[in-house]
């Protein structure tokens, strides 16, 4: 996955919010996937400028945190992408945790890649 500097993300988000350009327009201009740009905009709108910063370390999620995310997903009409943006996690994590719960499995503390 290509990494982008925080400054570039902030510039693109600012352009999106202050002009009439769409994510598609900006995608063509910067040669960056429009969905990624939309994620940056959504993250910025929910969590501010810190949402555009690169994470410096791997995060560990407790089982309680995962259950809170799934509870939020089930009790609100937000998409998995919206829930992920709200909690500053990947969309795939919401989906994986939801499927784990639906299968009746216990959510564990995540301490290595691939853990539920």
Position 1 pLDDT exceeds 60: no
Residue partners of 23: CB distance under 8 A and separation at least 6 = 16, 34, 35, 37, 38, 41
Position 115 pLDDT exceeds 50: no
* pLDDT, tens digit, 9 for 90 and up, residues 77-91: 999 988 988 888 888
DSSP H helical segments within 6-90, as ranges?
6-18, 23-30, 34-47, 63-75, 80-87
SS (H, E, C) 58-80: CCCCCHHHHHHHHHHHHHCCCCH
Q: Which phi and psi angles does 68 have, rounded to 5°?
A: -65, -40
Any idea what the Cα angle at residue 112 is, between residues 37 and 36, rounded to 5°?
5
* pLDDT, tens digit, 9 for 90 and up, residues 46-71: 888 888 887 777 888 998 999 999 99
Percent of the chain at pLDDT > 90 equals 51
């Amino acid at each position: 996955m290509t990494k982008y500097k925080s400054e570039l993300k902030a510039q693109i988000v600012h352009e999106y919010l202050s002009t009439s350009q769409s994510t598609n327009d900006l995608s063509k201009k910067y040669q960056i996937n429009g969905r990624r740009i939309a994620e940056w905009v959504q993250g910025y709108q929910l969590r501010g400028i810190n949402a555009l910063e690169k994470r410096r370390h791997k995060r560990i999620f407790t089982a309680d945190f995962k259950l809170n995310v799934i509870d939020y997903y089930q009790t609100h009409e937000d998409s998995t992408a919206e829930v992920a943006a709200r909690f500053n996690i990947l969309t795939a994590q919401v989906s994986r945790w939801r499927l784990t719960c639906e299968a009746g499995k216990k959510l564990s503390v995540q301490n290595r890649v691939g853990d539920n």
